[in-house]
Copies of this chain bind each other. A is one copy, B any other.
Amino acid sequence: MADRMDELDRKILLQLQQDTTPSIEEIARSVGSSKTPVWNRIRKMRDRGIIKREVAILDADVLGFEACFFVLIRTSEHDAEWQNTFLQALRDRAEVQEAHRLAGDIDYVLKVRVPNARAYDTFYQALISEVKIHNVTALLSMEEIKSTTALPL
CB of A20 closer than 8 Å to a CB of B: yes
CB of A25 closer than 8 Å to a CB of B: no
Minimum C-beta distance from A4 to chain B (A): 12
Give chain B residues whose Cβ lies under 8 Å from the Cβ of A21.
Answer: 54
How big is chain A's contact interface, by range?
35 or more
Give chain B residues whose Cβ lies under 8 Å from the Cβ of A72.
Answer: 139
Tell whether, in the assembled complex, residue A55 and residue B109 are in contact, meaning their CB atoms are under 8 Å apart: no
Copies of this chain, tallied across the complex: 2
Tell whether, in the assembled complex, residue A57 and residue B95 are in contact, meaning their CB atoms are under 8 Å apart: no
CB of A126 closer than 8 Å to a CB of B: no
Tell whether, in the assembled complex, residue A49 and residue B70 are in contact, meaning their CB atoms are under 8 Å apart: no
Give chain B residues whose Cβ lies under 8 Å from the Cβ of A33.
Answer: none
Give chain B residues whose Cβ lies under 8 Å from the Cβ of A49.
Answer: 59, 62
In chain A, positions 104-153 with a C-beta closer than 8 Å to chain B are 104, 106, 108-109, 113-114, 139-153
Tell whether, in the assembled complex, residue A54 and residue B52 are in contact, meaning their CB atoms are under 8 Å apart: no
Which of A103, A148, A151 has the most C-beta atoms of chain B within 10 angstroms of its own C-beta? A151
Give chain B residues whose Cβ lies under 8 Å from the Cβ of A18.
Answer: 53, 55
Minimum C-beta distance from A51 to chain B (A): 5
Minimum C-beta distance from A56 to chain B (A): 4
Tell whether, in the assembled complex, residue A48 and residue B70 are in contact, meaning their CB atoms are under 8 Å apart: no
Tell whether, in the assembled complex, residue B50 and residue A99 are in contact, meaning their CB atoms are under 8 Å apart: no
CB of A29 closer than 8 Å to a CB of B: no
Q: How far is the CA of A50 from the CA of B153 in the complex (A)?
A: 28
Q: How far is the CA of A64 from the CA of B104 in the complex (A)?
A: 23
